[in-house]
Structure 1
Amino acid sequence: MTDAETWDLLDERGATTGETHRRDDPRWPTNRFHLMVATCVVRSDGLVLLTRRAATKAFPFMWEIPGGSVLAGETGAQAAVRELREETGLAVDGSDLRRVGRGAESTALLDVYVAAVRGRPRLHLDPAEVDRAAWVTWSEVETHRAAGRMPAPWVGCFAPLWPDLTRAVAQAAQGEGASGP
């Protein structure tokens, strides 16, 4: 991420407005949103990837499902692939992503994806983004969420999607859509 990061703006229905916004510009336009993504990566043994935010980021040392902002001109799936690669070194193909749904907060819409991967992929964490990573059970993800160890805005965005995400994670753990060597 840089100060020059630019986002396409969306209306409340998620349609592009033709406007853009620079990340650090404090003048947020009324009734506009930017798109964010999160990708829940599920290994073939059923464990899920959580990352812990770096000390220099907002909500430092909080656990999360990897993700970030969609840059101007990107699709949600393209951003999900890019963010996962940048933060963790994991390479997935956009066709391997299953979109679970969309959550919302005051200025962002959040598209949530699931990606199944085979084996035990090696992680290469970006220390500017991620302090730690862990492969955990879905029950442990739910424990982190319930204990307040995940950023509140993300938890709010995920809330209406949680049942569908839980089902999608279970399906991915059963081998539906696994990718990679």
Structure 2
Amino acid sequence: MHVVVTGALVEDSAVLLVHRSPTRRAYPDLWDLPGGHVEAGESELQALAREMHEELGVHIVAESSSRLGDWHAGSGENAVHVAVWHIADWTGSPTNRAPDEHDDIAWVRINDLDGLPLVHGDLAALIGSLP
């Protein structure tokens, strides 16, 4: 099973999303939260911190992060477990440091998520549940 972590950076009632490149094998041309695979020997929070730095150039404050929910997709060797985290505090200004993976990043108002093509159908409701 593949374990993936994603992070919701929220600021001023908007969440930072990444647009997956149309050339990506998995979930092309859809909006998603930034993140990636947990590597051997990493905790989910270690992987989340690494991925946020690699993809966006930000340093998260791990203690400010809380789990929002989980998704499971596929089966057998293609099974994927996605852990979704809310990141309340970070340093740095997010920029697209992974243009081969994402062709755009954008701050999207939480109220506008329902109108976007999202990787996971429940993503809008999950982020909308944030206080």
Distance in 2 (CA, whole Å) between partners of 1:132 and 1:165 is 20
Structure 1 residues 112, 125: closer, same or farther in 2, change over 3 A? same
Counterpart position of 2:87? 115
What percent identity do the matched residue pairs reach? Answer: 29
- Is 1:130 aligned with 2:87? no
CA distance in 2, matches of 1:51, 1:82: 16
Bigger strand share? 2
TM-score scaled to structure 2, two decimals? 0.81
Gaps of 5+ in 2: none
The 4+ residue runs of structure 1 with deviation greater than 3 A are: 117-120, 161-165
Contact map agreement 1:90 1:124 (CA 8 A) in 2: no
Pick 1 or 2: higher relative contact order, CA cutoff 8 A, min separation 6.
2
After TM superposition, the score normalised by the length of structure 1 is 0.61
Query: Deviation at 1:87?
Result: 1.1
For the 8 Å contact 2:114–2:124, the answer to whether it is kept is: no
Question: What is aligned with 1:40?
Answer: 8
**CA-atom RMSD, angstroms?**
2.3
Q: Which runs of 5+ in 1 are unaligned?
A: 1-32, 172-181
CA 1:36–1:122 in 2, change beyond 3 Å: closer, same or farther? closer
Return the offset for 1:120. 8.6
SS of the aligned residue for 2:18 comes to strand
Decide which structure has the larger Cα Rg and report it. 1
